[in-house]
Chain A
Amino acid sequence: MSAQTNGQPHERIGVYVCHCGSNIAGVIDVEEVAQWAADKLGHRGVVIARDYKFMCSSLGQELIERDIVELGLTRVVVAACSPHLHEQTFRTACARAGLNRYLCELVSIREHASWVHTDKRAATEKAKALLAGGVERVAQHAPLEPLRVPIHPATLVVGGGIAGIQAALEIADAGYPVYLVEREPSIGGHMAQFDKTFPTMDCAACILTPRMVSVGTHPNITLLTWSEVTDVKGYVGNFTVTVRRKARYIKTDLCTGCGICQDKCPKKVIDDVFEAGLGYRKAVYTPFPQAVPKYPVIDYDNCIYFQKGTCRACEKLCPTEAIDFEQQDEYLTLDVGNIVLATGFDVMDARRIAQYGYGRLANVFTSLEFERLSNAAGPTNGRIVLRDGVTTPQTVGIIHCVGSRDRNFNNYCSAICCMQSLKFAHLIKERTGATVYNFYIDIRTTAKAYDEFYQHVLEEGTIFVRGRVAEVTDAARLPGEEGKLIIQVEDTLVGRQRRIPVDMVVLSVGLEPRRDSQEVAKLFGISCSANGWIIEKHPKLDPVATMTEGVFVAGCAQGPKDIPSTVAQGAAAAARVLAHIQQKEIALEPIRASVDETKCSGCRICNNLCPFNAITFHEDRMVTEINPALCQGCGTCVAACPAGAISGTVFSNDQVLAQLEGLLLRTVKGMQLEEGVPA
């Protein structure tokens, strides 16, 4: 555990204590700390100890660089702010002066001392201990080089909604191949279900379908719809992905998309995906007329031929003989360098909120159902009518925050429901002239042109009631309530309970992660938060990256957001991917574990400790091996190995234990440096 292990008899350590203006020096006597290091840590190799006002400034860095060259420093310790701020700064400074960047250690005496303690004497003594920890530790550091791995130029985009479409187009337009995998028969995602989009009231299909067509015809995009990713192996730059192409039972090289099979199919099925349960499709179907690709699929569970052995009308009538009942699922193996997850969202199941009556009271609709109602290509051709399909409502209640901002269901805000509710109010007014009530808690119209839209809706005469709706009921009690749905709510602005009879209720249900988000996360080696949204690398500074290098996220899969933000994230993810591809290789931090095979006994304790599949067991040699490119450097296996056969860089046992000894003001050889501890 001594400096001898690095082959040098003694390290030459430079110590730099930063004032950080008065941030540190206002509490800690930095000159005293530097002097103490020079006096007391000489036997550990400290040859110079300086204090300076701003170590991260160019002058501060030059101090270090000059000392490295002139004094032949072999290690550097800076006592200043958090490594999360300036570890790279000082490492780079050392590298400029010819010292390996991993021979530099940054000790935090600001966030962990001067900013959190009031007793100046105690803080100064603690700073000495923290510094001693850093000095002891750095003596155990070894020079390291980042790992360089090549980047395959192909990209996998998972999810063909607007986020995935945006990402795929940007990467493909830049000249690189993209595989776009989509679970449904067509791309388009939830946006294809919408009627108009806020705040501009563009028709969703008008702005989406041109993009969809670009994807479908792009020479660089391989579109794999009615497909799912079943396996992902590998690491950034070198992923091997298995995709299951489900059988469409249609030969796509022969199908012309004429639609005769759909027309003539005798089996009607309630379409609870695209039509949100409000309309029908056939057993052989394309989800909507503008579907990309245009090829239909046969729904095995509802096809009369597959279930009972009869019919086959589509086969008889297809002019190009494109129906193929014998078709099998196909498995593809794809090599890609980067992955973008754009798997979108599901809406909350409104039946969970029993008091709103969805599923029990006929004229309570969810937002997605309403989108289909108002869509001109929807089951009612755009007429906003009640469940009977005929009656136009005279009054409508729109409830915000259904299952959002609610500890009983989802504790977060779903971001889009206020604007969506305002949009509904506007459309209902425009199409039916009905009286519209919006029941809200807050109005969240933060983005560009949103609040102006809200003001417009106000001017149109929609009535806003501030209160969380307690109940939607059909139990009439007062005159005028017979045959209506009554909304029971506390109007908090007037401080009274109100019962408001309406013909139709629209629930702005919250957005939720996809039901299978946890499985998807496991498949791609990333994590979801407890409620299921994919976790980004940093919520502010890195929102489209995940903790797993090479896997990016875009759109609602990361959290509820509107279309502008979704498109921005799709583009941002594409930019990150393109940056990787352009550089042709990527440098990874060399924090890795490795197995000493002479010590490994093949006990296999470590084998199921790695969530990144970096650990493999070789049956032939009865030893375990760790793949350095897959290893994320968590160190769990290092700590678990009973034989001490696994070691980790940058956080080795020697380094941590040396730091521990220093913190307790003792040297590595166990000699007491200073009796007692601060205050």
Chain B
Amino acid sequence: MTGSFEPVIIGFTCNWCSYRAADLAGTAREKYPPNIRLIRLMCSGRLDPSFVLKALASGADGVLITGCHPGECHYLEQNYKALRRFLLLRRTLTQLGIEPGRVKLVWASAAEGHRLAQEITTMVEEVRALGPLNWAQAANGFGPEPVSAPAAAEGGAA
């Protein structure tokens, strides 16, 4: 964990609240570290745990999940489902040895650009302190290039 490690964090945002908060951070020229890359979903309820797992398996050092505050979901109550999935996912990841600080859930309304920028900054430093995740770098060392079975099953070799 030298000073030169720059974590990569994938952030999932919801179209109505947290994505707009990120936009607001932009229009307000709030500054935060460039380590995060955002993906827009319509709702935090769209967040499939597979997305988080895929991100971690594909080189991300951390994942930030964001959405509307409970009670303010544009689609009325879907962020509660995101919360339930996040809590169960966190337990699953802990069993696999992934530190809880690497996957975080933050609620941010469309007006909270400054707060979102702060949360991102905090998370980048926390993940930096945890070090690179480097998941499955050793996976590619075996035999011929693994082939993903086309058409039928998407779940081919990592």
Contact = CB atoms under 8 A, between A and B. Distances in A.
Interface of A: 1, 82-84, 108, 110-113, 115-119, 122-123, 125-126, 129-130, 133, 525, 527, 529-530, 535, 547, 591, 609, 611-612, 632-636, 638-640, 648, 651, 653, 656-657, 659-661, 663-664, 666, 669-670, 677-679
B154 A1 contact: yes
Interface in B28-65: 29-35, 37-43, 45-51, 54-55, 58-60
Contacts of B71: 529-530
Interface size class of B (residues with CB under 8 A): 35 or more
A640 B10 CA distance: 21
A464 to B, nearest CB: 33
Contacts, number: 142
B37 A116 contact: no
A532 to B, nearest CB: 11
Given A661-B58, A663-B39, A664-B59, A636 B117 contact: no
B42 A651 contact: yes
B26 A115 contact: yes
B6 interface: yes
Given A611-B76, A634-B45, A679-B6, A659 B39 contact: yes
Interface string B110-142: 000000010000000000000000000000000
A635 B45 contact: yes
Given A126-B34, A640-B81, A660-B55, A633 B42 contact: yes
A634 B34 CA distance: 28
B26 A639 contact: no
Which 8 pairs between the two chains have the least Cβ-Cβ distance? A111-B26, A635-B46, A636-B45, A634-B75, A634-B43, A611-B76, A639-B48, A115-B26
A591 B6 contact: no
B1 to A, nearest CB: 16
Given A84-B20, A111-B26, A636-B45, A660 B75 contact: no
Contacts of B47: 639
A338 to B, nearest CB: 20
A638 B78 CA distance: 12
B43 A657 contact: no
A130 B72 CA distance: 29
Contact of A82 (B23, B59, B74, B158): B23
A83 B42 CA distance: 12
A599 to B, nearest CB: 13
B108 interface: no
Contacts of B48: 638-639, 653, 656
Given A111-B25, A591-B42, A635-B42, A527 B37 contact: no
B23 A84 contact: yes
A656 B51 contact: yes
Given A133-B37, A664-B8, A657 B54 contact: yes
6 contacts: A112-B22, A527-B74, A634-B45, A636-B45, A639-B81, A657-B51
Q: Which of the listed residues B37, B60, B77 has the most CB atoms from chain A within 10 Å of its own CB?
A: B37
A535 B77 CA distance: 14
Nearest to A125: B34
A666 B60 CA distance: 12
Contact of B6 (A525, A633, A678): A678
Given A113-B34, A529-B71, 15 more contacts: A111-B25, A122-B34, A133-B39, A527-B76, A611-B77, A611-B78, A612-B76, A634-B78, A635-B45, A636-B43, A636-B46, A639-B49, A640-B81, A661-B58, A664-B8
A115 B24 CA distance: 10
Given A636-B75, A657-B51, A664 B34 contact: no
Nearest to B70: A530
Contacts of B73: 527
A305 B150 CA distance: 79
Contact of B58 (A530, A547, A653, A660): A660
Contacts of A108: 23, 26
A123 to B, nearest CB: 6
A609 B81 contact: yes
A537 to B, nearest CB: 9
Given A639-B48, A664-B58, A123 B34 contact: yes
A634 B26 contact: no
B2 interface: no
Contact of A656 (B25, B32, B39, B76): B39
A176 B37 CA distance: 50
Q: Which of the listed residues A535, A632, A634, A661 has the most CB atoms from chain B within 10 Å of its own CB?
A: A634
Contacts of B75: 547, 611-612, 632, 634, 636
